[in-house]
Amino acid sequence: MADLSYLDAVILGVVEGLTEYLPVSSTGHLTITEKLLGLEVSDLAVTAYTAVIQLGAIAATLIYFFRDIVRFAVAWFRGLVSPDARKEPDYGLAWAVVIGSLPVGVVGFVGRGLISGPLRSLWVVAAALVVWSAVMVAAERVHTRYERRGELRGEHSVTPVDGIVLGLVQCFSLVPGVSRSGATISAGIARGIDRVTATRLSFFLAIPALTAAGLFQAAEEKDGLSALGIGPVAVGLVVAFVVAYASIAWLLRFVASNSLLPFVWYRVVLGVVLAGVLAANLITAT
């Protein structure tokens, strides 16, 4: 991994930025890309690098939603000391994000050896791409029923219970190929939350989850990252930031008038093709 080129860094940054927030699995796409670039997928430095460049995508989220984040933070702190402030919708949404961020942190820490080891197999990625697509289809069907009955909920109706549910489902995204956004958005729309609100909530839940993962991996594998040099790491972060910012803006416009089904078809096709390539021994799984 010490010979990571600037071109590799740019490619991985683009893939991270494009796929981190789209419901197609950034980890799965990064694993496939690393394999195609000839990088050692099982190398802990590779795992650390991909986790660290996620911080570029997180920075894009922080800047894009800066005003919302400040608003929620103010509402949360005010609610801690003022009973009247607890009646504000932003207070409940803030708690949803806080509570929803805890499960993936606990599961991710406890199962970090499994996540960075056996689960980093392209067979796992191929299976997860297809299997979780079925979950996304089921979530869309439930959402359609809410929509037909006129029972969709917006941002001001999000509760801590929603946060708990989305947080628990987010744990499935630790399996490469599932997709963190695919898990949380699916959970949100299945609970009757409108697509735009569910997508925004997915972004907010990503901030603590991905920041913690990136910083933890960077600290744990600091020697491997040092061998890469500051240049490739910085390039990956910057590219991921720029591409992720554009992806956030595009996805919010897309889900305002479209379902997740186009992503489902893409996931299924990619999963089947990947399984075929692996079965033909054109590439190895690890």
Per-residue pLDDT tens over the stretch 84-126: 888 888 998 999 999 999 999 888 878 777 776 778 789 999 9
Per-residue pLDDT tens over the stretch 173-192: 999 899 999 999 999 999 99
Structure confidence at residue 223 (pLDDT): 66
Helix (H, G, I), strand (E, B) or coil at 83: coil
Structure confidence at residue 45 (pLDDT): 72
* Average of per-residue pLDDT across 2-16: 87
CA distance 277 to 126: 10
Cα 284 off chain centre by: 25
Structure confidence at residue 170 (pLDDT): 94
225 has a pLDDT exceeding 70: no
Burial class of 39 by CB neighbour count within 10 A (0 to 12, 13 to 18, 19+): buried
| Contact in structure between 237 and 95 (CB atoms under 8 Å) | no
Assign 213 a pLDDT band (cuts: 50, 70, 90): confident
Q: Which of 233, 278, 253 is nearest to 8 (CA)?
A: 233
Structure confidence at residue 171 (pLDDT): 93
Structure confidence at residue 1 (pLDDT): 47
Structure confidence at residue 271 (pLDDT): 96
Q: CA torsion angle for 272, 273, 276, 281 (degrees, to 10)?
A: -140
